[in-house]
Amino acid sequence: ILYSPIEAVSIAKENPDKEVVFFAVGFETTAPANALSVLHAEKEGLTNYSILASHVLVPPAMEAILSDELCNIDAFLGAGHVCAIMGMQEYYPLVETYQIPIVITGFEPLDLVQGIYMAVKQLEEGKFLLENQYARVVKEHGNKAAIDVIEKVFEVGNRKWRGIGEIPNSGYNIREAYRKFDAETKFKVGKISAPENSECMAGEILRGIKKPHQCSQFGKACTPSNPLGAPMVSSEGACAAYFHFSDNLISSK
């Protein structure tokens, strides 16, 4: 377990006879550090370091949800940590196209309460705007240095999301110039297909169509210690949150 992808580069440097692969997973937030690890490995002249890129992007996923005919979402709280890197520009088209409020929000309890208040206020006033509750961290154009390093190493490509399927232009792939650091290319990894559990409604939960407690497997066959789908795996997932805090739920159908 590493704290930084740069540690993986150091391990590769210290073990030139072994192949070191770093699993580069996450949203836009983790992409700069993973891109920097590739640039650092190139600078060190390493040939035994590569990354397995599995980055996913937030705005295309939001658009996939909004374009679903079953979508019943009224507003979004934009992820503050993602916008701290990427800025706000990608969200304006979503607001205009789908006429939905988006409030970029931080993670402290007061941030979340204020973000919800701002979104509800827009709905009550019949407005649809992009607002920035997390202005102390998020700037209009994001972190230029981070964006530059992302764009140097990665290019946008299609990505398959568990429970949803493939979403166009929703992930990062390694550019041709740095393909020698791409584990998929280096080790000739073919397409990997992970079968979905037919009893799991993770896709509907991720798209906001169903709530976790409406799943017949919730809290029974599916628990944090035995998750059937992605929303129960992470402590940040909707199903895990419902599982741990179900005593505070307001009953809904």
Least confident of 65-79, 157-171, 200-214, 237-251: 237-251
pLDDT tens per residue, range 107-139: 999 999 999 999 999 999 999 999 999 999 999
Q: Could you tell me the two tokens for 7?
A: 């540690």
Q: Do domains 5-57+143-186 and 59-132 have the same CATH topology?
A: yes
Q: Is the distance from CB of 186 to CB of 72 less than 8 angstroms?
A: no
pLDDT tens per residue, range 138-153: 999 999 999 999 999 9
pLDDT score, position 173: 97
What is the model's pTM? 0.88
Architecture category of domain 59-132 in CATH? 3-Layer(aba) Sandwich (3.40)
Q: Taking 80 as the threshold, does the pLDDT of residue 163 lie above it?
A: no
pLDDT score, position 1: 85
Report the b/e string of 117-156 with b at 16+ CB within 10 A: ebbeebeeeeebebbbbbeeebeeebbeebbebbeebbeb
Q: Taking 90 as the threshold, does the pLDDT of residue 17 lie above it?
A: yes
The partner residues of 172 in beta bridges, in order of sequence, read: 55, 156
Q: Taking 70 as the threshold, does the pLDDT of residue 251 lie above it?
A: no
* Domain coordinates in residue numbering, the chain: 5-57+143-186, 59-132, 202-246
pLDDT band at residue 250, thresholds of 50, 70 and 90? low
Please compute the mean of the pLDDT values over residues 9-38 and round it to a whole number.
Answer: 97
pLDDT score, position 199: 86
What number does CATH give the domain 5-57+143-186?
3.40.50.11740
Report the b/e string of 78-107 with b at 16+ CB within 10 A: bbbbbbbbbbbebbeebbeebebbbbbbbe
